[in-house]
Amino acid sequence: MSNIKLYLLFFKTYLKVKSEYRFSFFMDLFSQFSTFAITYLSIWILFGRFKDINGWNFYEVVFLYNINLFSYGLAGLFFFNPLRFLEEMIHSGEFDCLMHKPMSVFMHLICRRFNQSYLGYLILGIIVFRFCMDKLNIIWTVANVIWFIIVMAGAFLIQASIIIISGTTGFWLTRSASVTETIVHRFRSFITYPVSIYNTFVQILLTFVIPYAFVNYYPGIYFLDREDSSLFSPYFQYLTPVVGIVLMILAMGFWRIGMNRYQSTGS
């Protein structure tokens, strides 16, 4: 609990500092907002040419993409910058400073760097959720609302875990930025559309190896009440929270392995 209070204090202080430079602060938000607004536009253009994609209509695909975007924005806000720049801190010796502080090294790392531009993802996500909900035949019972919140928490854990795992490779690799770029961005782009449109290899990869499919595709089947042509069990639509928790445990275990093999630069 004390770590959470400290984290919130760091975050509040960070926002105060950034808000002093208001033009830069809002331009960061706008740049992210506009970048992904263009992605929604590209989906709209695609559906202008095709009525559906493997039976999925425009609003259903937007719903899937929005779960992906919102959960990634939330995870990126807290974890992307700290893990993205971990390799630089290791090379410069700055990482040693974290090991002499009276708090968890991991907690101190993520308290040091935020990326307020990810707030643009969250703002855009909220707007699009409101837009597409009116176009989908989702019955929002109390149980469905609670389950949606749980699914979003699981999706957040999956996104955060993958960021942590890819960033932690910096303990071994000279340059881990390419790993982060490939795993976090390239593979995540596959779930812009339903996983069922891909071949068997890609579906297996996105389900069992880099489980991005549990971020939006499998829960999307539940909320949209679809019987899609996925290769796997229909029970997968209920596993997002479980996958998120398991993956976060594995990510933190991987982090501890990296910490144990870390040797100071001596600089």
| pLDDT computed for residue 99 by the predictor | 79
Domain boundaries, the chain: 2-10+23-261
Percent of the chain, pLDDT > 70? Answer: 83
Q: What is the pLDDT of residues 243-261, one digit of tens each?
A: 999 999 999 999 999 988 8
Q: What is the pLDDT of residues 158-205, one digit of tens each?
A: 999 999 998 898 888 766 666 667 677 788 889 999 999 999 999 999
| pLDDT computed for residue 158 by the predictor | 97
Per the model's pLDDT, the better-predicted residue between 123 and 265 turns out to be 123
**pLDDT score of 28 more than 70:** no
Percent of the chain, pLDDT > 90? Answer: 39
Looking at every residue in the chain, the average pLDDT score rounds to 84
| pLDDT computed for residue 23 by the predictor | 63
Mean pLDDT score, 219-233:
84
Per the model's pLDDT, the better-predicted residue between 5 and 148 turns out to be 148
| pLDDT computed for residue 63 by the predictor | 94
**pLDDT score of 267 more than 60:** no
| pLDDT computed for residue 178 by the predictor | 67
| pLDDT computed for residue 165 by the predictor | 92
The tokens 């870390």 sit on which residue? 262
With contact defined as beta carbons under 8 Å apart, do 150 and 241 qualify?
yes
Per the model's pLDDT, the better-predicted residue between 107 and 152 turns out to be 152
Mean pLDDT score, 197-220:
94
Q: For residue 86, what pLDDT band results from cuts at 50, 70 and 90?
A: confident
| pLDDT computed for residue 93 by the predictor | 79
Mean pLDDT score, 231-241:
90
**pLDDT score of 144 more than 80:** yes
